[in-house]
Amino acid sequence: MKEEITSKRSGDTMTVYEKKDVSQLVRDYYSTIDFDIPDIQRREIAFQNWKEVGIRDRHRYFQTNENLKAYLSKIPKAAAFHSVGYYLDPLEREFAKKSLQGFDFIFDIDADNLAGEGYVEKLGDLCTMAKRLIDNFLVGHFGIPKEDIRIEFSGRKGLHLTILGDKYRYLSKTARRELVEYIEGTKLDRENIEAAVEASLERLQTDYIDLYQLHWPDRPMSMFGSGGIGYKHIDSESIPINETLQVLSDLVTSGKIRYVGLSNETSWGLSEFLKYSEMNDLPRVVSVQNAYNFLNRTYEQGMSEYFHRSQVGLLAYSPLAQGYLTGKYIDGARPEGSRTALFERGDRYEVPGANEAIKSYVSYAESIGMDPSVMANAFVNSRDFVTSNIIGATTMEQLKLAVGSIEVKLDEENLQAIEEIHRNNPNLCP
């Protein structure tokens, strides 16, 4: 039995069920859904019973996910939990006797650390932070396949990013701490910057670095394949730009670096660096390394003006859009040995409309007798705000095509045809 009631405070209508109906709903829920707890036979399963506070029913064991599903379909529980640890004997009640084998590697993104009143209000920011952690570090730096990363809600506290697989399950506490410190070490404060510079000098076996670039802003950003170019403010603690620039100034003075550059930066960020440089007689930023290609020309929206007015050039990375503009990934193709086949990192260039846009660029290149990769690189080379084109290649043939593109000049007819394709497919992959 159920009935509809209306809240006097909010005016919202909600459905109220009798106890027996709730029980049946839970049964129906578990009988229809599929879930997959990895290595369930080595985990302790615990339950919260109805009308009880906390976990009272624990030290349970299930051989398969289907066994657990069948149990919950028969005996519905208020909540069900699995351990993050793996045990030889999960039934043992004493922890020491369970014979711990390893732990899930979990990154906890806590909503308590964000500004805002309610969990729902913070959810967008939580997802943005999770995507940045996945794209920039877990996949980008550590090479973890996306299919090995599980995203779960952690009650009303935030999100859990769980890394699956034995490689990370058996990491020592020290190794886990070092990975976390590496990520947190991107704080652009004195300790981290100076340590990073010293480590680079040692690895490079040199006394100085010609151009030292900050790979990513210290502040939270909705960039780098976030699915849009709009700004959404995330109120989070960050190192002041003036403080970061002072550290870099000291390193220039000491002779360890000669010039300062930025990467993955916005118009506002660049303007702040230039402002503090002028105000406090600190080193001036000479370059910005941002993505720029046929599918992502967002640099033109404001940043390019700085080249002309402030002489801060663009070091354009990903001119071939991770190889997508060569045409080899059209219609979902995955050539053996290719970057996307090896690392599954092409999400940024597989959004709706991108495949058709790539076809248009490739088709036009072929119609004028030009290799699509050469045309893509030649276009980047032709922009007056580009200081350097950061090419990429894995074979000698690819390298020759990339280097040779500097000799290719696109005429006005070529550029107009490219602009027409762009107008029909503007910045699909920012």
- Domains of the chain from N-terminus onward: 2-101 (3.90.920.10), 105-183 (no CATH), 188-424 (3.20.20.100)
CB neighbour burial string for 152-165, b if at least 16 within 10 angstroms, e if fewer: eeeeeebbbbbbbe
Which two three-digit tokens encode residue 428?
């699909």
Q: What percent of the chain has pLDDT over 70?
A: 84
Please tell me whether residue 211 adopts helix, strand or coil conformation.
strand
Question: Using one digit for the tens of pLDDT, what is the confidence trace for 239-264?
Answer: 999 999 999 999 999 999 999 999 98
* Spatial separation of the C-alpha atoms in residues 305 and 385, rounded to whole Å: 8
CA dist 300 and 349 (Å) reads: 19
Give mean pLDDT, residues 13-39: 71
Judged against a pLDDT cut of 50, whether residue 93 lies above it is answered with yes
- Helix pair angle (267-280, 303-310), 10° resolution: 30
Q: Is 217 helix (H, G, I), strand (E, B) or coil?
A: coil
84 pLDDT exceeds 90? no
Would you state the pLDDT for residue 187? 83
pLDDT digits (tens, 9 = 90+) for 170-222: 787 777 877 777 776 668 999 989 999 999 999 999 999 999 999 888 886 65
Predicted confidence at residue 285, as pLDDT, reads 97
> Which of 304-326 are b and which e, b meaning 16 or more Cβ less than 10 Å from the residue's Cβ?
bebbeeeebbbbbbbbbbbbbbb
Which residues make Cβ contacts (< 8 Å) with residue 254, sequence separation at least 6? Answer: none
How do residues 348-375 score in pLDDT, each as one tens digit?
788 899 999 999 999 999 999 999 999 9
Answer whether residue 321 shows pLDDT above 60. yes
Phi, psi of 310 (to 5 degrees): -125, -5
Higher-confidence residue of 326 and 302: namely 326
pLDDT at 2: 46
Distance CA 46, CA 79 (A): 9
